[in-house]
Each structure stands twice: as structure tokens, then as C-alpha cells.
A and B are shown apart, each in its own frame.
Chain A
Amino acid sequence: MDANLMPLLPMVQVLVTALVVMVRDLFIDEHEPRGFLAFISLIGLGLAGAECVALWGGQQSAFGESLVLDNFALYFALIFILFAALTILSAIQYLRQRAIHEGEFYALVLFATAGMMLMAAANDLLVFFLGLETMSIAVYVLTGMWRASERASEASMKYFIMGAFATGFLLYGIALIYGATGATNLNRIAEFLVEQPSDWPLYLVGGGFLLLVGFAFKAGAVPFHFWIPDVYEGAPTPVTGFMAAAVKAAAFAAWARILLQKLSPLDADWFFPLWVIAIITMTLGNLLALTQSSVKRMLAYSSIAHAGYLLIAIVAGAEWGGLPLVFYLAAYGLMTVGAFAVLTCVADEEAANESYRDFAGLGFKRPFLGMAMSLFMLSLAGFPPLAGFTGKFYIFRGAVLSGQVGLAIIGVLNSLLSVIYYLRVIVAMYMEEGGAPGKSFAQAPYVYIAIALAVIGTIYLGLLPALPLDWSRAAFAALE
């Protein structure tokens, strides 16, 4: 038994912070301010981030190789920590306005973050499952936390039922793989696949496909995307940003480690289905996003489209697609969290104020919000020199290098479709007059910090991506 518990440190740090926040919350009177809980959470996240940076470059494992804290896990841990911090920053005022319980909110965000970190570090299917459930249950609750909102309750219920269903697939897949290989540890499974390169029992491939279904559900790929628009629309806006950025990144991180790397001998079996799914996911996501009148719903559908771009990287394979995948998740998450943070300032307390019309005049009334939102939209649409362009460039480059020129062309044509609806937000902000009379936009200093950070990140990843690319490369290299 090795007793190295170091790899647990960042996760435990986040979990302990969550517990501290939860317990401290109990001792505050109903009407006392709870703002400092957010700062406790941020400090905890900051410490966890510092620990990740300190551990960078090491390759530690614990519990008989079922948990590996390599650069890949650390890279994603840092991404999750960053997204969680931005989510908390953009939630502070939002929660207060709507009388949503603050203490639980922050604690749940932290629990979800710890679950994601576990997912990215898991080297065993059961440990991965543990992380997935920790994350999912926390996010189910977060989705329904705005109890006064019927939409949020509905979304939470929907998410929970569908998510539980998908989890069932995943667990069944794990069982089948265990039956075929006699192991849940990824290293053992990989060894088995290499030693016996052929005549796998059918249920091994079937188990792989069930895993695929589970991942596709969490990542929001067609045909397992139906929950996304309703859940994204109903959830409190900061939670939606968190889901779109961090949950998606966690799903793809696990996907990359488990399917793209360790189970890569099965590639040939799911290459074609994935190729088809990638195309349908992009195209359907973009086409449906075009028809939306709510910006929040549009962003939900566009997140499906972005899952499609990420699938291009997966189809391109580990050699060419790995680095773009890892980089794009960071880029996409940053601009998405930023966009949803802007959305929190537009929405009114009463509810549904996220249509394009509600953005009218924002650009000139609130120059900072308008500029930031334009930047996020342009970046999502893939205009250079912003993060979204750099990410797409690497993905399409990976596709071309792996011989998938056709997929790259379909990808760019999809980008073109997305330009239309992303620019509509800019049209509303700058080119349409007025908007509803008396419509005001929330003044929220903490959100502004989150937005400013996302803006800086979006520009930095686009303009000077050399250093972040080195990190991404180091992260993905750790898997090989």
C-alpha cells in the first residue's frame, strides 16, 4: 500500500473549504450579510490553485494508481478552479438580488469543483464515477437553487432525471468493461487491450459505447443534447456559465484520458459514429441557435455547437487532436463564463429578461459591458486575434493534419453560421435603438472583476498563446 496522499491535496483543500463555508454559514443569523463566505471560498480556491502550481511537473499517484495527479490533472484542476472562482464572483450580487441562499451556493460550487478535479485525475473507472457523481449531484442542486423560479425547478428536475439515466448507461458500460477485462483500473485495461489486440468480446465494445453515451450526455453532444437548452435556460445564470464551461471541460477531460488515450485501441470501432456525431452536433447546434430569441437559450445551443467542434478534435485522434482539445476547453470556458457573467447584469430580478431586445442600447449605456460582450461574441464566433479563433485554428489544423480535411471544411462552414447569431447580440447592443423604457442594467462590481478577468484571458489566449500552448502540451503529454 503506498501512503502517498499528496495527490489528494488540492482536492481536499477545496472540499475542506466547502465544509468550512457550509458550517460557518450555519452560525450566521438569517439577515446578517454573508458576503465574506464568498471570500473564504475564493481564498480556498486560490490556495488549491497554488498547490496545483507547486505540484506541476510531478507525476504522483495514489491508491494503487487509481488516482494520478499528473500535469493533465493539474492543468484541468487549475481550469476548474479558475472557472469556479469566476462563477462565484459573478454570482455574489445575483444571489443577493434573488434571495438565493449564499452559503450553500458557494459550498456546492466548491463540491462540484472537487468532483471535477477527481474526474480529471481519475485513473480508474470507479474513481472517475465517484468524481462524476460528486460533480453532478452538486450541479443538479445548483440548478434548482433559485426556488422562487419555476423554470429553475423544472430545469433541475429535468437535469436530474436525464442525468441519472445517463449515469446508468455509464455504470453499465463500466460493468461490461470490467466483465471483459477483469479490471477497472485504466492501466490494467489498456494493458489488456494491447496484449489482446483482437477478438474482443462484443460486450467490451458495447461497454465502450455505453461509456461514450455517458460522456456524450455530459458533454452535450447530439443525440444526447435535449436537456441542454431547458436546463441552461432555467438554471440561475452564473450556474449556467459554470455548467457550460466547467462541466463540459470535466466531461471532455475524462473523455480524453479514458477514451482518447487509454482505450484508444477501440478507436476504429467508434471512429465513424463519432465522425457523424461531430458533424450533426455542430450543425444542429448552430442551426437551432440561429432560431432562438433568447440570448441565454442561444448560448445554450451554441454550447452544443462548440461540443461539436471539440468532437472534431476527438475524431482527429490523440496525436493531432489532443492539444487542441485541451486548449480549446480553456479558451471556450473563459469566454463562456464571461458571456454569462455579462448576462447576469442584463437580467432583471423578476426573471426572463434575456431576449436580444433586452440587450438594446447596452453598448452605449454601459460601454464596459458592451465592449466585453462584443469581445466574447466575436471570440465565440472565431474572429482573430481572440481566444476562440486560436482554439478553432488549432482544432481545424489538427483535423487537416490527421487527414480530415472534409471535417475541417464542415467545421468552418459551421463557424460561418455561428457568426450570424453571435453578431445579432452586437446588433442589439449597438445598432438597435432604445429597448424597454426604464430598463436598467445591474451595477455589480464583483461581476465586473470576473468579466475583466475573462476579457484579459480571452485576449491573452488569442494574441500571445505561445505560453498557454506550452502548458496545454505539457498537460496532454502527461497522458502518453
Chain B
Amino acid sequence: MAELAIGPLSILLALPVLGALLLLFAPRRKHALFAIALLAAGLEFLWSVKIFALFDGASGEMQLVERLRWMPAFGIDYIVGIDGISLFLVLLTTLLTPVAILASWSVENKLKEYLIFMLLLETGMLGAFVALDLFLFYVFWEVMLVPMYFLIGVWGGTRRIYAALKFVVYTMAGSLLMLVAIIYLATRHAQTDQALTFDLLKLYGLRLPLDQQMWLFLAFALSFAIKVPLFPFHTWLPDAHVEAPTAGSVILAGVLLKLGTYGFLRFAMPLFPDAALLMGPVIAALAVIGIIYGAVVAMMQGDIKKLVAYSSVSHLGFVMLGLFALNLQGVQGGIYQMINHGLSTGALFLLVGMIYDRRHTRLISEFGGLWKQLPVFSAILMVVMFSSVGLPGLNGFIGEFLILLGSFKVSPFLTAAAATGVILGAIYMLWMFRRVIFGPLSNPANEKLADLNGREIGLLAPILFLIVLMGVYPQPFLQRMQPAVELTLKRIAAVSSAPVTPDHGAPAETQGNGR
């Protein structure tokens, strides 16, 4: 790619910051502030659609690459680029941000700062998805924490300060070790290739001995596993979700968690393929434990938001299982499921937020028989719930099916265990739905509830549209991912000393367990 000064991706990163700056000097009037924030986020979405149009779906290489010298003395550059893996995550981010902003209509307190943090958060997330320099990636990875910290800490629920601190400390515990690993990796590259660089694409070519790979992989994996969150690193998640404001939860579940799984796929696995292959079964096992554990705990929750939060642990377990199947179906299914989860869980949090705005409670026992009073709400919740449990015809099915297909080739045993998670998922969701929506309308507090208004339906509509579209017509999505996924798998197979081909790269011990 030619050396560009300011390309489309830099504009993508700059737009929300410009919006935030504009907000800083805007008058403190609700409509003006919302107008600016929505304009910035809306333009951002349109710009990402333009990037989608510019994107060449037939190529698996990085596209729209921009390079700029940043700290030449340390080999640190500003490098951004996009491929079929990050493309959809970028689109998901730019879609969910305006939706989340629109869902924040009920925020009255310190609205200006709130919207500024939302926009800064968007830049942080997008930056992490498009950064191709490890240092740059780390910068965005950390930058993201600050606005999220404020969103939870200032606008959150009663235990918000505790939850915000826990969120930051957990995330940083992982990422700081990753920082040492990044430095070490670049140092090793400088020693062997005589070129000081943090350029990811160059570092892909480095081949380290297995013991070093293991340490580095563990450092990266810890950081990403906390973010995913992989069992047993998930304990920050329910706190952060429950205390975060609705929009914070939507972004947290919709996008932030995907950064963990994306990190595995983009960094930890291709950089340290031998270690990834060796640790694959362990991580897959943890993922399956997470699937079942998340589902069982979700079933026991009395608070709808907590239920959705734990269901995230379960769903992200599926994503991890797919990624570590290390074959085309598994990885594609994993990425597909990342987007599904972003849409369906994002929508679930929005719906929970809407009912909370009306009743100021989220306890399942407070509801029942809502379909009489809230028919539109009930219908939308039903669609989203079915998407979440993987009903054929909706997006969740495609993702889960591909993941199970991919992982079955590697480990039938783990796949079977994971499949019970699908059943458990159906149980806790349907049970929650039955208790909230059906039955007699016994609680008098629910008798005067108003159904969804135009704004609320409007912000849910694009998500519903995509849930159906991705369920019935997955081809355009899968097609654009495929070359990039194949390239990533090839990288893992090529660098790795073990002879693996993308399709039957099954580590022996996992298969042994299966029989």
C-alpha cells in the first residue's frame, strides 16, 4: 500500500474526537448536546459504511493501510489497517455507539461529560481494532479504559465506584503484563532481525523457541482472557454490567468484550502459534466450563441484567471455543458469533434499560404478564431472545452452528459438552421470558406501563434488521471474512513447527479425551 498521510481509517479515528471537542464547547442544553453527539456518531457510522464499500472482499490482506513515523528511535509507528476480521467489528462499533447514545435519553446528570466520554470510548475501541503496531494497539487498549471507568463510576448504579475500580484493576492487571511481553517481543525481533519494530505484520514473521512463546502467549492470553472474559477471569463482569448505565452495558457487552477475543485471533495466536496449539485444549476446556458455568449461574439470577451479564460469559465461551478449533468453520463461526453477541446482547441490555426506566427495578419477580401492557416490547424481546438462544432463521444459529461444526472436528467431547450449553441457554432465556412476559399481570405497579415509544423502537430497529438479515443471508458476511481467516490460519500453520493444516490440526490429547 502506498504511504498515505491521512487515509480513511485515520478519519474514522478522528471523527469522534472532533465530536468530543465540539461538545466541550457546546452549550449545556440537552437537545444541542444530543444533536452534536448523534451527528458525530452518525457521520462516523456513514464513514464506516464508506470504508465497507472501499473494502475489497476478495483479499485477506490488510487494506487501507496507513503508516506514519511516530517514535522512530524505538521503531514505533502509527500503522492502521483493516481486514475481513476487523471490518465487521468496526461496523458493529460504529453502529452500536449511536444506538447507545440515543438510548441515553434519560441521562440528565452531567450529560455533556457523559457524551464526551461515549465518543472518546468509540475512538479507543476503533483504534484497538485497526491498530497494526503493537505499541499503538496497547495505547488504544488502555485509553479505552478511562472513559469506561468514568461512565461506570459517575453514571452507574449504587455500587458504581467499586465496580468501576474492579473493572480497571482487573483489565490493567492483564494488560500491564502484556506490555512487558510486547517490549520483550520487539526486543527479540530486534536481536534476530536487526530491525527495531513494533509492526505487527513484521513481528508475525518472528519465530521464537517454544519456552519463550509460552511465556509471551500466557502474558497476552491473560490480558485478553480477562477482557473476554474467560472462566475463571470473569468475576469483574457481573459487577461492571450491573452497575454500568444502560449505554455502558451495551458498549461493554457489545464491543469491549470482543476486543478480548479479537486480541486472541489477531495477536496471541498468530504471534505465538506453537504455544497457541499447545495451550489450545486448555483454553477450549476453560471456554466450555465458561459456557456451562455462565448458563447455570444465569439461570439462578433474579435480576434480568445480571442474567444477561452471565449469559455473556456463556456466549463468549462459544466464541473462544470456535477460535481455538483453529479451522475455517470454527474461526469464522467465532467471528460471526462475536457480531451476533454484540447485536443480541446489546439489544437485551437496551430492553432491560427500557423496562428499568419505567419501573426502576430489574427483578424478574416484580414482573409478569407484561405482554398485555407492552405488546411491542414483548415482541421485540422475543425476537432478540430467540436470536440469543440460536433459533434457526436468526443470526445466533449460524454462529453457534459453525462453531460446533468446527470444534467437532477437533474434539467431539468438548463439543458435546458445549452443546449442552445451548440447551441451558434456551432454558434460562425462555424461563426468564415466561416469568416476565407471560402469566397473569399480578403486580399492580405494572398496570400503567407505557409501551415503547418511537425513539426506542427506532434505535432497536437496525439491530432487529441485522439479526434477521444475518440469520437468513449470512453469505455476504462470511464471504468477506473468509480470506482473512484463511490467511490467519495459514500464518499459524506456517510459522508453527508442528505440521498442522487448517482443517485437522487436532492436538492429540484432546482427541484422546473425547473417546
Contacts and interface: CB of A to CB of B under 8 A. Distances in A.
User: Does A associate with B in a complex?
Assistant: yes
A408 B172 contact: no
Contact of B179 (A412, A423, A432): A412
B71 A465 contact: yes
B176 A420 contact: no
B163 to A, nearest CB: 11
B139 A385 contact: yes
Interface in B164-208: 164-165, 168-169, 172-173, 176-177, 179-180, 183-184, 187
Contact of A431 (B70, B142, B146, B161): B161
A427 B165 contact: yes
A409 interface: yes
A208 B109 CA distance: 60
A389 B71 CA distance: 14
Which of A378, A385, A397, A469: most chain B CB closer than 10 A?
A397
B145 interface: yes
Contacts of B70: 466
Contact of A384 (B110, B113, B142, B184): B142
Given A427-B153, A427-B161, A431-B160, A473 B73 contact: yes
A457 to B, nearest CB: 17
A466 B70 CA distance: 7
Given A419-B169, A420-B165, A466-B70, A400 B183 contact: yes
A412 B160 CA distance: 26
Given A397-B74, A430-B154, A431-B154, A412 B177 contact: yes
Contacts of A111: none
B143 A383 contact: yes
B138 interface: yes
Interface in A8-61: none
A416 interface: yes
Which of B135, B142, B154, B179: most chain A CB closer than 10 A?
B179
Contact of A396 (B143, B169, B172, B179): B179
A400 B145 CA distance: 26
Nearest to B72: A466
A364 interface: yes
Contacts of B154: 430-431
A161 interface: no
Contact of A412 (B69, B139, B143, B176): B176
Contacts, number: 81
Contacts of B72: 466
Contact of A385 (B143, B161, B173, B177): B143
A409 B161 contact: no
A415 B187 CA distance: 21
Contacts of B113: 364
Given A401-B187, A427-B161, A430-B153, A412 B180 contact: yes
Given A419-B168, A419-B169, A466-B73, A405 B180 contact: yes
A384 B177 contact: no
Nearest to A417: B169
Contacts of A415: 172, 176
A416 B173 contact: yes
Given A416-B169, A419-B172, A423-B149, A409 B71 contact: no
Q: Is the interface of B mostly helix, strand, loop or mixed?
A: helix
A413 B71 contact: no
B129 interface: no
A466 B71 contact: yes
A225 B470 CA distance: 63
B299 to A, nearest CB: 33
Nearest to B139: A384
Contacts of A178: none
B150 interface: yes
A382 to B, nearest CB: 8
A291 B436 CA distance: 46
A425 to B, nearest CB: 12
A257 B33 CA distance: 55
B146 A383 contact: yes
Contacts of B150: 426, 430
A368 B139 CA distance: 24
Contacts of A419: 168-169, 172
Given A419-B169, A430-B150, A397 B183 contact: yes
A383 B179 contact: no
Interface string A360-388: 00001000000000000010000111000
Contacts of A400: 180, 183-184, 187
A432 B161 CA distance: 9
Nearest to A405: B184
A172 interface: no
A416 B172 contact: yes
A428 B478 CA distance: 48
A408 B180 contact: yes
Interface in B54-103: 69-74
A409 B169 contact: no
Contacts of A385: 139, 143
Contacts of B179: 393, 396, 412
Interface string A392-405: 01101100110001
A400 B189 CA distance: 13
Contacts of A389: 139, 142
30 contacts: A364-B110, A383-B146, A384-B139, A384-B142, A389-B139, A393-B179, A393-B183, A397-B74, A400-B183, A400-B184, A405-B180, A409-B177, A409-B180, A412-B177, A412-B179, A412-B180, A416-B172, A419-B172, A420-B165, A420-B169, A423-B149, A427-B153, A427-B164, A427-B165, A430-B154, A431-B161, A466-B70, A466-B73, A470-B73, A473-B73
CB-CB nearest 6 A-B residue pairs: A412-B176, A384-B139, A431-B153, A400-B183, A397-B183, A384-B142
Given A409-B180, A415-B172, 20 more contacts: A364-B113, A383-B142, A383-B145, A384-B142, A384-B143, A393-B183, A396-B179, A400-B187, A416-B169, A419-B172, A423-B168, A427-B161, A427-B165, A430-B153, A431-B160, A431-B161, A432-B161, A466-B69, A466-B72, A469-B73
